[in-house]
Structure 1
Amino acid sequence: MCIVNILIKQFKKIKNYFQKHLWSKYLLVIIFFGISILVIGQFYLKNKYFQYLRDKTYEAESYIMEAINVNVSTISRELIHIGSDIAVKPDLYYLVNAYMDEGGKTSANKRRLEEMLYELSGSYQWISGMSIASDDGLVHMYDRNKKKEGIWKDNSDILANLNRSVKRAVQNKEIPLYRWSVNPNKHPEWNNIDLFHIVFPLKGDAALSKVEYSLILTVELDWLRNALGIIYGSDEQISIGYITDKEGIIIYHENEALVGTTRENYLLENDIKNIKSSMMFFDWEINIAIDENKLLEKVNAIYWNGIALYAILILALFIILLYIISHSVIRPISKVLHSIKIVKTGNLQEKIDIKGKNEIWQMAEEFNQMTDVLHRTERQVEEQHRGRLMALKKKRLAESEALESQINAHFIFNTLGVINYEAIESGNHIISEQIKKLSNILRYTLNQKNQKVFLYQEIAWLEQYLYLQKMRWGDMFDYNINYPIELGEYPCCKLMFQPFVENSITHGLIGRESGGWIHIDIIKINNETLQISIKDNGCGMEESKISKVKYLSNNAKSGENIGIANVLSRLKLYYGEQVDLEIESEIDVGTNIILRLPISGMRSAEFDDINTN
């Protein structure tokens, strides 16, 4: 009950304050409308941004699907060529026929056949095994991952059906002659190995009419997993790649529980969209499932973060305006009111100390002049009664005018115009997706509060910087950045990569049309040193140029290499004199900038404000 009474008293004080101060009502109205406009604007932009992001996602995934299809088709073509080349080898054809003619009893032919299959299967990294099949099932096989009985354990009937299927294709002169199967899709003794099988008629140099046996290449699906891997960009997978057959049955998915189910049920149960593309060589389809709900969740998160940010900015603006109005408006008015009260007691000697030239101080100056007039009038009133009455009327008239001029409409509306302008200006800092990466770079660069960051933050900035440079220069160069995840929390100086990377582009790679690259590798040496390598295949430098760069990097005051000199100065400030810069370069080969930073020498106190910031 005591707390309730305190809250009621505070509410009454606030209410009384707002009743006595007209400016506070207008300020609240402006803030209310400002927040309303921002919320509505953010909601509109959120929907527009979601539509834009969804369209760009579909566009990007379509390009990715084309790239995947090219990669998969290339590997599929190579597998088919390998199988076709092996199937027409006369040595294998005659050895299999000899082995079968003798009933598989001669150990010499069996050993020769096993050695030949072993030798032939080693010609491609994804081939898990190679088998010979007849209408009765397995003739002989080589299984690279075999422990005991191999791939076709308990699956001889599948082999027989595959052999008959290939023979029918030969008899009917179907194109293509090869067949494929996903059964069995798992190695019986290695459950983590996904498999599929390509079946070729074993022809040798004989006529197709004499085909009795078939060659089966058993291929691991790791190559397919690698090809689909470029779809996955983050832990929150918005897009997932998978493979279906022409009937829409899922034959490969990262979630193995979905293999064998239909694409239609998968999409309906998960409420996701799908784009697809037919593969060459096999009657399969590459699918990319896109979860628009997750995409919307990301956009909503950005939306609410934006609302929270605007709320904080508006609150800060309110406090700043309250402070400004309190010092520039309320205090001068309070002084005027205080002087008026003194004058009301009969003390016409009271004067207001003028400290400005705005409307309020002009009013105060008028008040001072008024008191001077009243003071002179008071001395004259004793001489003549009518003069005293007239002076009294002038005094009352002057006081009335003074009170009316306390709230100057021109001043109030000018002030409201400024506040409205500031509110509109705050709304124009919404991040536009079209320049998102550039905005991130500028925000990161111009933020003077945090000059010390973590390595993962610096890498994230560097990736965006290289992305924009890549957009600018097109095919002139590619880039990659490699670093152990555990080094991501390593404190480092802000923008310490940029001068080196910029030099690689502007001095090393400029002038190229294509084929350039920049490799950035970060490793930890003996838990004592962090080594950063920035390597390019640019034009390289002569020894004299390397010496000049090192000298200017340590002594430059302005001009060239000032960026590298500044970075080295900051690094030595944070890590001490153990910072080491090494330059390796060869003309027309490239340049490697190696920067070594001491881990144990890091001044942790310099970075204590990273977490707090």
Structure 2
Amino acid sequence: MHRFHFNHLKLRSKLIFIYIVCVCIPIILTNIVFYNVTTNNIKKQKTVDAQQAMFQLKNELGVVIDDAASIAYLYSIDKLLENHLETDYASYDQYIESLASIKNIFIRSDKEYKTVSSAHIMTDNPTILASGNIINLEDSMRETDWYRSIKDHNNAYPNLYVTPSSISVIQQIADKRYRKYEHIIKIDLNMEYVNQLLTLSSFEGDVYFTDQNNEVRYSNAPAFLANMEPMLKENISKPQQAITFEQMYENNRYLGGWSLYGVLDEAKVLSEVRHSGQFIVWLAAINFFIPTFIILMMSRSIHTRIKHLLKHMKKVKGKNFEPVPYVQERDEIGELAVEFNRMIERIENLINDVYLADIQKKELEIRQRQAQLHALHSQINPHFLFNALETIRMRSLMKGEGETAKTIQNMAKIFRKSISWKRSFVTIREEIELIESFLEIQKYRFANKLQYQITVEEALKELLIPKMTFLPFVENASIHGVENSPGIGLITIQIAREHEQIVFVITDNGMGMSAEKLDELHHYFTEDDSMGESVGMKNVYTRLKICYGDEFTYKIESEHGHGTRIILRLPIKEVVQ
């Protein structure tokens, strides 16, 4: 029977033991004690702060409304303004003279531009012209809710009219029963300023402005702003654990019965609970020293033997395959040491038996690829030479013209370049010269049936590409595309730069290909290992894949009876020949 030892415990059992004793239990106990003590303290403090913030917000909003009410009151008792509004003006000049005499009355409202959005005096005196702060009282205004709210209201003091989007102070000037005309003062508060008061307030919850009937008239709550409709205070949507505050406006004729109602989410208050003072220090000491002692005792069982195993692993880097001395511990580290010994034994065998053979195999593959590349190059030259000679032979039999001399000269250029080009890469300029010689031969063959146009960016002409990259596609366009076309064949070649790529585009107006033929051609390029009929283009595709890999892309667009368009994209890179 074995004696109990920490080294015999499985690593997983050790980690679970460390977690339960050193992490789980201390954290649970600490959080329970901390939560009970600090939650109540923070909640009390936040409640006092929120109550004070609501009180301050009530006063600030009351001051804004009082300022507007005082302006309305000053307008209502001003005799000059009343005489101006009651006078029947015989001429425009008489009205302007009277208006100039009372312009100083509006200085107060103009100074309150931060808190007051607009201050208008509305009158139904037909001889008064609407201008500045004085406007006409239209019949449509008498149909509004704000007008109906003051119809039966005592005009001795202002009336507060609140909607979800505005706050206004409204007051009649004198009593219509004793005046010829009706005059109303309407002062709208600056809602941006009111919203700023709510935003900058230290109260962290939602604020509701309620009237005498406990109906919410204005609020910054998202749910209220989404509907923008008054609702009863009882219907306010509240969090599960809500703290409510209410500040009443008292001893105020026009604000009497109105109140500010605040709703604070208790969860947000408690989210800011933090450790405090000496209590934290004692808890931290308990959570640190006791778990540290246990962890040190347990980790010694792991650290010493892992360090010994690591020492042998570092020796392997220097090709010293010394095995770890056999140990009898039955935990994961003991098993790791045994598996390490097996591993270094296999590595040593693999190096001796497999590594050298693998190097030889890779060298053979590289040589085979190079041989394949040279073979592809050698297949191309006779292919084009045969087509050119066959063209000259056919034309010579049909006509005995002197144009044959020019064709032979172009043929000589192609033949000379095919022999003299020992390099794998040539410049675009050299490739274009070869293409032009080939197309001139084709023009000789087709007489007036073939036309071509070549456009090359000047900056690209000296860039290197694999030789005979574009020529097979030109040959395919002239022979397979234009030859069977009943009209005049046109071949357009464009070579341009797009970002860091060379873009080759060749277009012909020949017979084109069907979708099935396009799919067959794509399968032949990418998956078929045999050479088939389109040997020239197949060779080009294979060479470009060998040279550029996935950086080379091609695209063929064709429709039967409407020609073919081929796009090749090659990366721009320096080539070491």
Same fold (TM over 0.5): no
**Relative CO higher for 1 or 2, CA cutoff 8 Å, sep ≥ 6?**
2
TM-score by length of 2: 0.39
For the pair shown, the structure with the greater C-alpha radius of gyration is: 2
TM-score by length of 1: 0.37
